[in-house]
A and B are shown apart, each in its own frame.
Chain A
């Protein structure tokens, strides 16, 4: 890899200061699972690596129905933490699908979100949860909803002088969840993935439904048309199928050398049906 300067920062301010000074010549190092392959193949040539692993950004806090996760929370922690399992199990399920055990040891929540691969699991879950992301820059902190954070393929709202510090999510203790992913092999990036969240009211009707997709475009997306079909309704098989069809009809993925648009669209429909089925079943258990 090309030679570069390296600094292990101790405070967020220090990190931000360096990023502001060096801008596109600096790269942030968290888990390294996306950055280091690029360094190995000389596709990334930073002049400065800002190692943020010492920053106090790895906490998990639950307050007033909100879960706050530091950006340095490792995928393995999301997968194994009893607190995550209790308060936001969809995160645990999604994290378990990421890469392989080695990627999960080091890869971070913030790293995955900042990298914004269109087929990645965690950006999709953030969209499903309407997560709130905290960005820190020289001007201070700002919070963005997930839907404003993901701008394009591998592109986010993060300024060159900003660091993703924290993510805030609703606690989903009584919500049924499911993540369905279709990949060529286990652990590969998804061809298409769906996150379904379903909350039932006391009468067993859908109080809230969220459907978020990865692999169907440059950014993860929600499909309100499908969600609206479910709200207030009995979660019967036909209704779930209708929502799946709405998703399939709304989404507009592209073809690439590996997979066609038509197949992606079809998969989105199938996975939606399966994800909704499981989410509803879990919602029934949780109620």
Chain B
């Protein structure tokens, strides 16, 4: 079946089978490896993308349902250079193995767009659905908090 969607700002028309997840479409069909598969059940958050601006588990989205919708993956955040949120992650040591990073970046980004004044407690709550096995979360929260303070000041 044919679907049309907006991917990182560009309109795409694709021929897709119905029994495919958005994650599979992005990775296997389009070769876009930003979102990762960590669990296949929507728990870990490694596959997070923004669907019309809201975070979803792309491993739980069937491709026909994204017809006419807008999808943002991690590289959609960059506009010729790292986004300040990405820079904050690098600066604060918030990345170790990096597998959870794309999902966390998008989740944090979407959250702060709606809650720019959020404090560390609210940020922690917002990221509570994204699992990380390496960092213990502290430096991830440091980075998001630092970005939030800079973004609101600037």
Contact = CB atoms under 8 A, between A and B. Distances in A.
| A touches B in complex, CB < 8 A | yes
Interface of A: 1-6, 8, 29, 32-33, 36-37, 39-41, 49, 51, 53, 76, 99-103, 105-106, 186-187
B58 to A, nearest CB: 9
B21 interface: yes
Contact of A100 (B51, B64, B65, B129): B129
19 contacts: A1-B20, A1-B21, A5-B18, A6-B19, A6-B62, A29-B65, A33-B57, A36-B59, A37-B41, A37-B60, A41-B41, A53-B65, A100-B128, A100-B129, A102-B55, A102-B129, A103-B42, A106-B61, A187-B128
A106 B20 CA distance: 17
Interface in B45-65: 45, 48, 51, 54-57, 59-62, 64-65
Summarize A's interface: helix, strand, loop or mixed.
Answer: mixed
B42 A33 contact: yes
B17 interface: yes
B18 A6 contact: yes
Contacts of A101: 55, 107, 111, 126, 129
Shortest Cβ-Cβ A-B pairs, 5 listed = A100-B129, A6-B18, A36-B60, A37-B41, A40-B40
Contact of A102 (B1, B21, B48): B48
A33 B21 CA distance: 12
A4 B63 CA distance: 13
A106 B55 CA distance: 9
Contacts of A33: 42, 57, 60
A3 B40 contact: no
Contacts of A40: 21, 40-41, 59-60
A5 to B, nearest CB: 7
A15 to B, nearest CB: 15
Nearest to B67: A8
Interface string B1-41: 10000000000000001111100000000000000000011
A102 B56 contact: yes
Given A32-B62, A32-B65, A39 B19 contact: yes
